[in-house]
Structure formats: structure tokens, C-alpha cells
Amino acid sequence: MSQLWSKLVHKLEPYVPGEQPKITNLIKLNTNENPYGPSPKVLDALKTEAADTLRLYPDPNSDQLKQTIADYYSVEPKQVFVGNGSDEVLAHAFQALLKHDKPILYPDITYSFYPVYCGLYQIEYETIPLADDFTINIENYKKPNGGIIFPNPNAPTGVGLALEAIKQLLDNNTDSVVIVDEAYIDFGGETAISLVDQYPNLLVIQTLSKSRSLAGLRLGFAIGNEQLIAGLERVKNSFNSYPIDRFASTGAIAAFEDEEYFQTTKQQILNTRAKLITGLESLGFEVLPSQANFVFARHPSKDAISISQSLRDKGIIVRHFAKPRIDQFIRITIGTKAECEALIKCLSSI
Amino acid sequence: MSQLWSKLVHKLEPYVPGEQPKITNLIKLNTNENPYGPSPKVLDALKTEAADTLRLYPDPNSDQLKQTIADYYSVEPKQVFVGNGSDEVLAHAFQALLKHDKPILYPDITYSFYPVYCGLYQIEYETIPLADDFTINIENYKKPNGGIIFPNPNAPTGVGLALEAIKQLLDNNTDSVVIVDEAYIDFGGETAISLVDQYPNLLVIQTLSKSRSLAGLRLGFAIGNEQLIAGLERVKNSFNSYPIDRFASTGAIAAFEDEEYFQTTKQQILNTRAKLITGLESLGFEVLPSQANFVFARHPSKDAISISQSLRDKGIIVRHFAKPRIDQFIRITIGTKAECEALIKCLSSI
């Protein structure tokens, strides 16, 4: 039957997301979800959308949402693109902005969806090794390319890149698009959005799934020069006119409007992260410096797969990546204080 | 700046959806939305989703939703694919199943997103003229092709194709995928889902935007042989792991569970359509036989653009397509009884 598939489909190697278990009572620290629910104001706003107006299409251009995001980040609405989760935004960006004659560049250890997008859109790529301490060395990106993309902080390491380094990378690389994938930026990094007016080839992508507790709602966005956004809009409008449903738009707007809740929950996560790192280190783990809502840690003598499995047996899920250089690490999402204490207790007993 | 766009982006001619006006008090009969809101049971279910669990990703595979759709149509869950509106399902189907060496075939008058998808995925196509009465003549599809797609009933004509004719087309065309786009099937046509076990190259696509009053929620689906669905899943999982948010999944499940509401509102629309057709004919309009929640009508002496404009001036929006063969038609969505009476009254005065 597969002769009915397009040639491309045979070659795809789809992305495998972290497990979303259907059993409850697990401590779920594997997909970097926020341990706190969305703002009560977001929930109230969402309830009002459960109404007769659902019979009507949403605004295909999501103008109100773009205005809200633009106001929040002090940019113009025409500098804002929105999508059904930041994965969709990334997909459109690969197709619209990163497919050129030369290969694109990204770190050897990074978000594992990037090579999948390259497969989908048949984009050549070259991976640039991280330094031994898992930092990005921007000097290594000084070569002809069809575009550059990296997460900041990087995934799954959590290691951040300073804004000054990003600025230097942009100064070195003016002829192709540079995408900074800031899914985790709110947990301690410094956003590159402040640079978009200065660098017309810079695109910054963020999500509401992590710091704004809305993974279940699917909303991501990009901010950049209006010409880059126009390119994304051309692809989006050739793919799906109405990707943002009425709930996603309303929930996202309300989330940006409740700054206090955002700051409070973020601070709680940062506090818990500090305690978790101390606890892991006291058990002998090496923990990479994290600017994210997760930590990436390895034990000098215990095997990562066996740690993961032992935790799983006791009802705690973390994530392991069977990849070169990082196969001895486990990635642990910052949960509630109680969840992280349970994790440390469990690790002590292993 | 546009040198930063991929080559493809320059060539795209994006789809232009029907206007979604931001002013109220208009009688909106231009985008085939349902005049009745979703079932109250759907609204109740949606309200329960506005909860702390939004911090968690939805099920990436939408298993419960697929099971519900499979049960409703008496197929297996592995024969069901779901997407963020049927436009996304169509997009993935073009990329996964219709991109081959030979051109695909579709009617010269049809859903105007098809050529846009062909542009996005660089698929060659050949249009097959409808007969003079705007019906599809399946004899004209007997030629080598990379796939066949058509809406049933067709858009924007509303004219249906009998299941027996689709069966013959499938008997004539066994080597490429045949996609029947059934966005409007519930308003009087007969679905081809009953044929999917017999024809492994048949894919049927439907939406909850029209007959189930959920345009604002974005949910479409495809049913076909499990190998076709597997091809779609490969593309979906290379594009976006979590396209269906928690509201879309829950709302869609509840919609399929309230059969009584579905049947009642559908019947009201069919009753109103019959009255609207009588009214239009009494004003001298020629109305194509409709199996959809809209009618396609032309007046022997009044110009379609001027009718549209006159209606717009009086607060009623219908849709006009400036395309060969159909530029003298207006497409009118079946609204409430009162809306359709207002339309007839307004047309009488023009």
C-alpha cells in the first residue's frame, strides 16, 4: 500500500515526543510542563469562550492576539506571527526561511525536532559541536550557511547563551536568517526580542506551553522583522487559514494580561530549581547550569538508563535521550517543591 | 529583505478565506457557518476543560477522539486521522498522498484551496471541467494521474455526486489516491466512508466546522485505509506533535455524542434551505441543486457583483467568486429562518 505514499513520506523520521502517560498518580517530570496551572483569570476567560460563538470561525489573522503580544514586547503587530504551538511556528519557519542552497547550522546537541523538519522540507544541515562544557561557541558558526537555529537556553541541556554572544553572532552573520528558539527563556535567560529592530534577519520564537502553563492550549509565536513575518504568513496562509482556535486566542491574551501570576509562579519554579540542584549535587550528580524549567544531570557512577528505569518503577518519570555525548544524562522537569523532594528521596534510595 | 525567504515563498499564492468582519449586527451568510451554536452538552464539556490540567500537553495521538470518531462511523481507530481543521488535514494529505510524478486531477470549479496546496508542495495538477450543469463527469477522470480530489458536495456549487458514481470512479482508478472532501456531506449527500474497507486508495475528509457548529474550535478528520492514515501520521509527526488542543478534542467528542442535537439542527437547516430556494426562484434566480448548507444562485439579468454589493450595503454578506464560469453566481450560506427571510426581502427590494 505504501506505493500510495509520496516519495518523501518513506524517508521521514518523525519526532517522538516525551511520553504522555494515561495513568494518573505519576510524578511527571518528563516533558517540561509547568507544575502550576494557568492563571485563574485565564481559566475565567476560557470559560466565556464555551458559547454559541463557537459556530463562527475565529479571526484568521488573530489580530487581537498579535496586538497583545506586540504590546507586551514593545514591537508592532506586523512583527508578530502566531501558530498552533511553537512547533508549528518552527515548521513554517524552516519551510519559509531556512530552505536555501546552503546547509543550515545548529548545535550537535539540541532540540531533536530540528532534523525532523529538515527531513520534512528537504533542507541540508550541518551540526556544530557544543564545547565540552555544553556551551555554544559562536566562533564555530562563522561559515557560509542557509540559516542558523538554536534554542536559548539550549535543549535538552538548559545551558544559556548571553545576549551579547547572540549579538556577536548576528554581527558575524548578516546574510541568512538566525532563529533563536526561546521556549524556555522566561526561566532565567535574556530574550533577543530587543534585537529584532536592529537585525532584520533575526527571528525569535517563544511558546506559552512552559512559563505560562498552557501546554494544553497550543500557542506559540515568533517576533522579527516584518519581512520575515510576511514570509511566515505566506506559508501559513497556504497551509491553514485558521490555525488559532477561539480558546487558544482568548487564553493567550488573558495569560499576557496577568503579569503578577506569571512572575509569582516563575519565581516559585526558580526557587524549586535551586533546591533541586542542591539536592542532586549532594547525591553526587553533576548538574549543568540551567536557565530552564528543567535540569540536565549525570551521575559519575550510576547509569542514566538504570536511574530512569528505577525512578519509573517508583512512579516518577524523567526523560532520557539515547544520543551520543548525552546518554549518561537524565533531564528532570522542575515540578512542585513536593514533587522535587519526592524525587530526591527516591534517588537517595536507589 | 525577501532574499531571506526560501525560493518557494516568492511563488506562493496564498488562499484568501471569506471575510470575517469585526463589526456586529451583520447578517453573515458568507462562510458557511452553522446558524445554530454547538450542542449545550458540548458547551458544558468545554467548560470543564478550563482547568489546571491545561498546564499539561494534550495526548499527541488524540486516541480518545479517534476512538469516538471510529465508533461513530464503524471503522477502526487506526483508520482515523485528526487535524487542526480539515484544511490542515487536506494540507497533510496533499503532501503525504498526492505528490507523485503525474499531475493530480480535480474539477475546474472547486474548493479554491486545492491549487494553493499544489503551490505549497509543488504538485502538478490538471483541472477537469465540470459539465454544463456543474456536475462532475467521472468519465473525464479516466486518465493517468498522481491522485484525484474533489469535494462532495462540490464547493462552491453545492452540487452532489452519487455514491454509485464515486464507486465507479474508484473502480476506474485503483493506482492512485482518491480523496473525497466531505466538508458538507451531512446536509444531504451520502458519505463514502462505507467504501473505505473496499477501496484501500480512498480517503474521506470531514470537518466539525459546518454540520456540528464548531468552526471556532478547529477540528477536521480523515478516514481511510490504515496505510493511508499511517502516511498522514508520518507527516503530522514530522510537523507538529500536538496539533489538537484539549478543548478541540473534548468538544469534538461531546459533539459526536449528542446525535439528537445534530439531527435536529441539521433538519432545521434543510427546511430553511428549501424555503430559501423557493424564495430565490420566485425572484427569478437560477439555483443549483444543493446538498450543502449553502446555495449557489445566479440571476438572469442582475449582475452578481452588484447584487453582492447591494446586499452588503444593507448589512448582509454573501460570497462572490471572481472566476470563469461562476462569476455571475452568489453563494449564500443557509442562516436562520429569519436571516434567510431578511435576505429574500432585501433581494426583492434591489
> For chain A, which domains are there?
2-37+260-349 (3.90.1150.10), 55-257 (3.40.640.10)
Quick: pLDDT tens for A200-223: 999 999 999 999 999 999 999 999
Q: Do A239 and B87 touch (CB under 8 A)?
A: yes
Q: What is the pLDDT of residue B325?
A: 94
Assess A21–B contact: CB distance below 8 Å, yes or no: no
Q: Do A57 and B31 touch (CB under 8 A)?
A: yes
Q: Do B85 and A242 touch (CB under 8 A)?
A: yes
- The candidate with the shortest Cα–Cα distance to A207, out of A47, A34, A340, A45, is A34
Among B4, B227, B266, the residue to mutate for chain A (most A Cβ within 10 A): B4
Q: What is the pLDDT of residue A350?
A: 85
Q: Do A97 and B241 touch (CB under 8 A)?
A: no
| Contacts of B50 by beta carbon, 8 Å cutoff, 6+ apart | A43, A44, A46, A47, A50
Q: Do B120 and A235 touch (CB under 8 A)?
A: yes
Assess B19–A contact: CB distance below 8 Å, yes or no: no
Contacts of A247 in chain B (CB under 8 A): 46, 217, 245, 247
DSSP conformational letter for B319: B
First to last CA, chain A: 48
Contacts of B59 in chain A (CB under 8 A): 20, 22
How long a stretch of residues is chain B? 350
Assess A178–B contact: CB distance below 8 Å, yes or no: no
- What are the helix and strand counts (H, E) for chain B? 11, 12
Q: Do A4 and B213 touch (CB under 8 A)?
A: no
CB B112 within 8 A of CB B99: no
Contacts of A17 in chain B (CB under 8 A): 57, 60, 241-242
Number of inter-chain CB pairs under 8 A, A vs B: 275
Strand partners of residue B298: B286, B329
Residue B279, all three cell numbers: 424564495
Instruction: Report the residue from B12, B38, B225 with minimal CB separation from A235.
Output: B12
Measured N-to-C along each axis, helices B259-282 and B337-349 cross at an angle, to the nearest 10 degrees, of 10
Residue A78, all three cell numbers: 506586523
d(CA B195, nearest CA chain A) in Å: 17
Which residue of chain B comes nearest to A235, CA vs CA?
Answer: B9
d(CA A112, nearest CA chain B) in Å: 11
Assess B6–A contact: CB distance below 8 Å, yes or no: yes
Residue B55, all three cell numbers: 498546564
ipTM, 2 decimals? 0.96
Per-residue pLDDT of chain B (350 residues), as tens digits, is 589 999 999 999 999 888 888 777 899 999 999 999 999 999 999 999 999 999 999 999 999 999 999 999 999 999 999 999 999 999 999 999 999 999 999 999 999 999 999 999 999 999 999 999 999 999 999 999 999 999 999 999 999 999 999 999 999 999 999 999 999 999 999 999 999 999 999 999 999 999 999 999 999 999 999 999 999 999 999 999 999 999 999 999 999 999 999 999 999 999 999 999 999 999 999 999 999 999 999 999 999 999 999 999 999 999 999 999 999 999 999 999 999 999 999 999 98
Assess B212–A contact: CB distance below 8 Å, yes or no: no
CB A178 within 8 A of CB A201: yes
Contacts of B95 in chain A (CB under 8 A): 6, 8
Assess B268–A contact: CB distance below 8 Å, yes or no: no
Assess B41–A contact: CB distance below 8 Å, yes or no: no
First to last CA, chain B: 48
Among A4, A67, A104, the residue to mutate for chain B (most B Cβ within 10 A): A4
Q: What is the pLDDT of residue B22?
A: 76
Assess A313–B contact: CB distance below 8 Å, yes or no: no
CB A187 within 8 A of CB A293: yes
Q: Helix, strand or coil for residue A104?
A: strand
Assess A227–B contact: CB distance below 8 Å, yes or no: yes
Instruction: Report the residue from A7, A55, A245 with minimal CB separation from B34.
Output: A55
The side-by-side arrangement of strands in the sheet containing B104-107 is B80-83, B220-224, B202-207, B178-181, B148-151, B104-107, B125-128
Q: What residues of chain A score a pLDDT lower than 50?
A: none
Instruction: Report the residue from B6, B56, B216 with minimal CB separation from A55.
Output: B216
Assess B38–A contact: CB distance below 8 Å, yes or no: yes
Contacts of A235 in chain B (CB under 8 A): 9, 12, 120
Q: Do B55 and A37 touch (CB under 8 A)?
A: yes
**Chain B neighbours among A 52-91 (CB < 8 Å)?**
52-60, 84-85, 87-88, 91
Contacts of B240 in chain A (CB under 8 A): 84-85, 87-88, 91
What are the DSSP calls for A292-348, one per residue? SSEEEEE-SSS-HHHHHHHHHHTTEE-B----TTTTTEEEEE---HHHHHHHHHHHH
Q: What is the pLDDT of residue B1?
A: 52
Q: What is the pLDDT of residue A1?
A: 52
Residue in the block written with cell 429569519: B338
